[in-house]
Amino acid sequence: MSHALDETTVFTPKFDEHGLIGAIVQDAGDGTVLMFAHMNAEALDLTRKTGLIHFWSRSRRKLWLKGETSGETFRVVELRVDCDQDCLLVRVAPQGKGNACHTGRRSCFYRTVADDRLEFG
């Protein structure tokens, strides 16, 4: 295992065997992790060009603009990539009510794992 610093300055995202890269979405204002989704190259390109976050839906097998039906869009403040360039951190300014989750909650991470149970809070 190499502990050498990676000083690469060229953005070359590494998509998986399905052509996807994971994207963690974080509120740039308070640091709350809002959601996790996948992007393909087209979603990443549209996100960078429009400033609004786009994803690839694995279940619907189509591109989607976050908030296209709910109005809960996210304006990109900063796009970060991890050291291996195989995961993105998208820091956003939520628009609308600020809810990221399809359940109507602010964050998709609203439950805690406790033994074999899930607790709300």
Q: Write down the pLDDT at residue 116.
A: 93
Task: Select the CATH number that applies to the domain covering 21-120 from these four: 3.10.20.810, 3.90.930.12, 3.10.28.10, 1.10.3330.10.
Answer: 3.10.20.810
> Is 80 exceeded by the pLDDT of residue 38?
yes
Region for 61 from its dihedrals, namely left if φ exceeds 0, alpha if ψ lies in -120 to 50, beta otherwise: left
The rounded distance, in Å, linking the Cα atoms of 79 and 74 is 12
Q: Write down the pLDDT at residue 33.
A: 98
Count of CB atoms situated within 10 Å of the CB of 32: 15
Of residues 43, 26, 32, the one with CA closest to residue 90: 26
> Is 70 exceeded by the pLDDT of residue 2?
no
Mean pLDDT value of segment 10-23: 97
The rounded distance, in Å, linking the Cα atoms of 22 and 68 is 20
Q: Write down the pLDDT at residue 6.
A: 80
Domain boundaries, the chain: 21-120
Per the listing, tokens 């956003």 go with 92
